[in-house]
Structure 1
Amino acid sequence: MAMLASKVTPRLACALRTRTFATTTAARTTSVTLKALGLDSYNLGVFNGTWGGNGDVVETVNPATGEVLGAVQQANAKDLNETLERAASAAKQWRMVPAPKRGEVVRQMRNALAEKIEPLGRLVALEMGKILPEGIGEVQEYIDVADYAVGLSRMLNGQVVPSERPGHAMMEVWNPLGVVGVISAFNFPVAVYGWNSAISLVCGNAVVWKGAPTTSLTSVAVTKILAQVLETNGLPGALCSLTAGGADIGQAIAMDKRVDLVSFTGSTNTGRKVALTVQERFGKSILELGGNNAIIVHNDADIDLAVRSVLFAAVGTAGQRCTTTRRLFLHEDIYDTFIDRLKKAYSQIRIGNPLESGVLCGPLHTKAAVALFEQGIVDVKAQGGKILYGGNVLQNLQGNFVEPTITSIAHDAPVVHREIFAPILHTIKYSSINDAVDWNNEVGQGLSSSLFTTSPERIFNWIGPSGSDCGIVNVNIPTNGAEIGGAFGGEKETGGGRESGSTAWQQYMRRQTCTINYSGMLPLAQGIKFE
């Protein structure tokens, strides 16, 4: 990420708007992609019904090539204040629209996203660095969540509760919160916002979004698509507001009482600060924080299935998913065989430009991530571990490329308990399944986990009260690739938040218990007499 002058002068703005890219294949791809999404080399990053921005200008960079993709004018405090005012006003209008009608608008957003799935997925690959199939798959995830939200708009059901008092009716009613602030991370610059916005909208809320500064172009592109749908329906654009910015904007969102719910996705350390800030003003928060996920492979497992699963879970998105497998517990009977097969599979991974066909591992997102990878390798060696495969930065490639790495190390080494957002897989040998489950649970994070076995007894113990303590508990599938129908999130330092499916929608609404007396009498609960 390259930071320009704090404010755009007319001269600088003109220069950015008229920037011409070198006539390379990469530059032509960028130009075509930006044009297809209504973007330019310079873009405004604040939307609240109108486009603007008075904060810093940030250039985003292709992590595979170092190419500058474009620049986005970020928000400042004044922009955020104006946006929150408009969002709060829009929420009052939106909450009076019947939920199924709100669902119809989200359905139109779903269709508009589907029309742009290829260029938007390509922009994700260019700006974030994940391979093109994953970029397109991420946009598809937003589309799928929108489908889910449309159906949900007719099922925001409360319940009737039996009253102990004669002539009384008691029921549970759900009403909109107001304004939902979404602070999303670089690694899923479309899907995480999609989970929150689609469901927030059908629940009757306005949404204010602050994406990661390093993926600001994607934030602007998505907002442009949604804004057009709102305009077509005669609705205020502030329902899907955007305030591109850095930590200062995120902190201001967390502090502002006009934001009824803050959904934060990011590191545990930052999430802890967000949670304390929001709780101090008695706001609501959804936290999706760190993951230090494990796969356990027992000696009765389908080895072919397990190897393929570990490969995708550990190497997919270059290890930059919150659900990436970072710890692999292998039964001692199969350890050597499994490692041999896994190393062979790793050797066949093609690393390179994520837009090229056949590439399975793209770059890390930033140079800082490469430095964390290098420090992780140093720590493994210093703490008694061995590098079984990889461990190197790929200096022969132009971008932020590293080798997917396999280590052998003790389960309680400090580096194993620290989430390194890179493709480093720690392998640990075990003899007792009870030990493996305990080791799965001993880290601070509690997002995703998986057990490979064919034993019903072990399966049901694994998903039971003495099994995995994670929010996502799988059997014979990877730790990543969660479906939108289930609630997504984890326990402990992962934050306890839940997004996407199941009853996650309830977090975006106010629960009200309503009692109606139609008897003309005043019997009190618990038989109390007050006469």
Structure 2
Amino acid sequence: MPTQVNPATGEEGKTFPALDDGQIEAKIAQAVSTYRGWRTTDYETRTDLLRKIADQYDTQREELAAIITAEMGKPIKQARAEIDKCAKGFRFYADNGPDMLKPIEKPLVSGRSVSHWLPQGPVLAIMPWNYPFWQVVRFLAPTIMAGNVGLLKHASSTPECAAMLEQMVLDAGGPAGLFQNLHISASKVAGIIDDPRVVAVTITGSEAAGIKVAEQAGHNLKKVVLELGGSDPYVVMPSADVEQAARTAVTARLQNAGQSCICGKRMIVHEDVYDRFMEIFVEGVKNIKIGDPTDEATEMGPLSSEGARNDIAQQLEKAVQQGATKLYGGDIPDKPGAWMTPAILTDIPAGAPIACEEFFGPVAMVFKIKDLDEAVAVANDIPFGLGSSVWTTDEAEQQRFIRDIEAGMTAVNQMLASDPYAPFGGVKRSGHGRELGPYGLHEFMNLKNVMLPE
């Protein structure tokens, strides 16, 4: 039974009843029934609904942002930005979806081939709390455009966000069963994946959760998209604008209290500019405004929960035990809530296990490197491969990083961020498959080839 807990105060809020097995069965049955009709709707019907859902995000912007802040502690300005991005995501697929679904015609030696993008059925999404609306929207908007229907198992810590996601689809005129929120425990997920009426699964979450879902989906021969952990390199070379790189690094590491899969988590800085970078970066981290997430001036709120905060504190302690230097921060104030100050780790010994872990919180690891080869080696010395950010004005260095950094995404001279227009996803233990752009639309569709005579 999901219950809200405000991470800024520790106070409990609303409780949402969990579904029993009979209610879960009814939800899946309704999804199947709705899919039979939705799969045959024309593109105009789908794009019209997407635009009306976007309008819901615009008109309810303040209410939705406040729910994010109350449930997972995101500063209110960042929460509003998340809601704005959701509206943009729906409008992107409304504006561009029909062209992405055009048949693909190819001439053959005899006759021609026409490939059609067709929907497949109900898709289960398992989504996290850190961007509780945006993470779902980047699954939901292409699901609607594709002609599929969606089922959501959201994080138990953001139950009202989950409920609002479904309600806005209904309020925009979407048919019942097009998108349904399931207030269920994690123990119920395997049974839903096993259900033959559910055709595919997408998850954004931890590596451990991704492995379980992938195993279950694989056992059932179902398509799965995995967007898992990351410990993204943030590389700064001598030709870079070091001041801009260092200032941006503060935001890259501490946005959403560092609870983002594509945060710049490992700062890899060339020795020639290391001291200047650290001067600006450390000052920026120390001056970040931490406080009440409902305050317009707050730049960093609490972590999502006291449990998450305690996990980060234990990781910090382990890092120091392994020989790293805690240059700054990591303090836990004596007050209610999931608070801690951001931390900076330096002098991390080569081969230390902590160097290969993800800090899903406000902790930056900083590495000093001597040349391009070492920068690439350190960037790749992790089991993850989600995103990366490289700062250099040298074209040859840029191309080397693009070619050799083992990641699904690389941002050049800017902070990495997701965008509806661009594919999002990783390699290695960060998962597989892509969200957003045409690729996210096509992931759960049947590319049906039709052979025709001349």
For Structure 1 versus Structure 2, the TM-score category normalised by the shorter chain is: over 0.9
**TM, length-normalised to structure 1:** 0.83
Residue 86 (structure 1) aligned to one of 17, 30, 50: 30
Q: Does 2:98 correspond to 1:154?
A: yes
Residue 512 (structure 1) aligned to one of 436, 448, 452: 448
Distance in 2 between the 1:425 and 1:492 partners?
Answer: 22
CA contact (8 A) 2:223 2:444 kept: no
CA contact (8 A) 2:9 2:337 kept: yes
Residue 43 (structure 2) aligned to one of 72, 75, 99: 99
Residue 181 (structure 2) aligned to one of 242, 258, 282: 242
Task: Kindly provide the amino acid, as one letter, of the partner of residue 495 in structure 1.
Answer: G
Deviations 1:296-348 (A, max 9, x none): 11122101110121100111111101111211111112212221221111121
Residue 404 (structure 1) aligned to one of 326, 334, 342: 342
Distance in 2 between the 1:410 and 1:103 partners?
Answer: 53
Match of 2:124 in 1: 181
Residue 414 (structure 2) aligned to one of 452, 477, 482: 477
CA contact (8 A) 1:76 1:249 kept: no
Distance in 2 between the 1:324 and 1:369 partners?
Answer: 17
Distance in 2 between the 1:308 and 1:255 partners?
Answer: 48
Percent of pairs identical after alignment? 27
Deviations 1:200-248 (A, max 9, x none): 0011011111110100011112211211223xxxx53111111112212
Distance 1:191 1:487, change over 3 A: same
By how many angstroms is 1:169 displaced? Answer: 2.6
By how many angstroms is 1:255 displaced? Answer: 2.3
By how many angstroms is 1:411 displaced? Answer: 5.0
Q: Bigger radius of gyration, 1 or 2?
A: 1
Residue 220 (structure 1) aligned to one of 159, 163, 180: 163
Distance 1:411 1:446, change over 3 A: farther
Task: Kindly provide the amino acid, as one letter, of the partner of residue 399 in structure 1.
Answer: G
Task: Kindly provide the amino acid, as one letter, of the partner of residue 298 in structure 1.
Answer: M
Q: Does 2:15 correspond to 1:71?
A: yes
By how many angstroms is 1:253 displaced? Answer: 2.6
By how many angstroms is 1:143 displaced? Answer: 0.6
By how many angstroms is 1:504 displaced? Answer: 2.0
Distance in 1 between the 2:271 and 2:196 partners?
Answer: 54
Secondary structure, in 3 states, of the residue corresponding to 2:198?
coil
Residue 303 (structure 2) aligned to one of 340, 343, 364: 364
By how many angstroms is 1:402 displaced? Answer: 0.8
CA contact (8 A) 1:212 1:246 kept: no
Match of 1:426 in 2: 365
By how many angstroms is 1:508 displaced? Answer: 2.3
By how many angstroms is 1:70 displaced? Answer: 1.1
Task: Kindly provide the amino acid, as one letter, of the partner of residue 514 in structure 1.
Answer: V
Q: Does 2:318 correspond to 1:318?
A: no
Task: Kindly provide the amino acid, as one letter, of the partner of residue 442 in structure 2.
Answer: Q
CA contact (8 A) 1:261 1:284 kept: yes
Task: Kindly provide the amino acid, as one letter, of the partner of residue 151 in structure 1.
Answer: D
Distance in 1 between the 2:358 and 2:189 partners?
Answer: 23
Secondary structure, in 3 states, of the residue corresponding to 1:164?
coil
Distance in 2 between the 1:500 and 1:355 partners?
Answer: 30
Residue 150 (structure 2) aligned to one of 191, 195, 207: 207
Task: Kindly provide the amino acid, as one letter, of the partner of residue 144 in structure 1.
Answer: K
By how many angstroms is 1:295 displaced? Answer: 0.3
Q: Does 2:63 correspond to 1:126?
A: no
Residue 377 (structure 1) aligned to one of 316, 320, 323: 316
Aligned residues: 452
Q: Does 2:243 correspond to 1:304?
A: yes
Contiguous gaps of at least 5 residues in structure 2 = none
CA contact (8 A) 2:343 2:362 kept: yes
Distance in 1 between the 2:97 and 2:421 partners?
Answer: 15
Contiguous gaps of at least 5 residues in structure 1 = 1-56, 519-531
By how many angstroms is 1:71 displaced? Answer: 1.1
By how many angstroms is 1:76 displaced? Answer: 2.4
Secondary structure, in 3 states, of the residue corresponding to 2:114?
strand
RMSD of aligned Cα (Å)? 1.3
